[in-house]
């Protein structure tokens, strides 16, 4: 799930997954963090989910995917678009 908060000239996007699916550490990786799996690990929240937040320039489009333990890549069903390889999100 994606949560958005509009800021002046920027958009804060929070990537949210259930706390236990998939099991183990998960990161959101994309062109906004040079596909670095250590830049945005999802961390637990009090509501039983885990999340990572990035702030991006407004009105831009970015590619991303999730990376879980065991080199398991997966997509966000709620992404704005899918380009065949990656998910896409509009800030």
Domains of the chain: 2-90 (2.60.40.10)
Q: According to the model, what pLDDT value does residue 56 have?
A: 98
User: pTM of this prediction?
Assistant: 0.93
CA distance 88 to 45: 24
The average pLDDT across 14-28 equals: 93
Q: According to the model, what pLDDT value does residue 87 have?
A: 97
20: left (phi over 0), alpha (psi -120 to 50) or beta: alpha
The more confidently predicted of residues 20 and 4 is: 4
Report the mean per-residue pLDDT for the chain.
96
Q: According to the model, what pLDDT value does residue 20 have?
A: 85
Would the CA dihedral through 15, 21, 25, 31 be positive or negative?
A: negative
pLDDT, tens digit (0-9, with 9 covering 90-100), for 2-18: 999 999 999 999 999 99
């Amino acid at each position: 799930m994606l949560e958005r908060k509009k800021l002046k000239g920027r958009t804060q996007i929070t990537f949210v997954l259930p706390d236990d699916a998939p099991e183990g550490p998960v990161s959101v990786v994309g062109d906004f963090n040079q596909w670095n799996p250590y830049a945005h690990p999802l961390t637990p929240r009090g509501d039983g989910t885990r999340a990572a937040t990035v702030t991006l320039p407004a009105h831009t489009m970015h590619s991303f995917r999730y990376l879980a333990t065991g080199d398991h890549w997966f997509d966000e069903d709620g992404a704005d678009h899918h380009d065949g390889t990656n998910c896409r999100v509009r800030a």
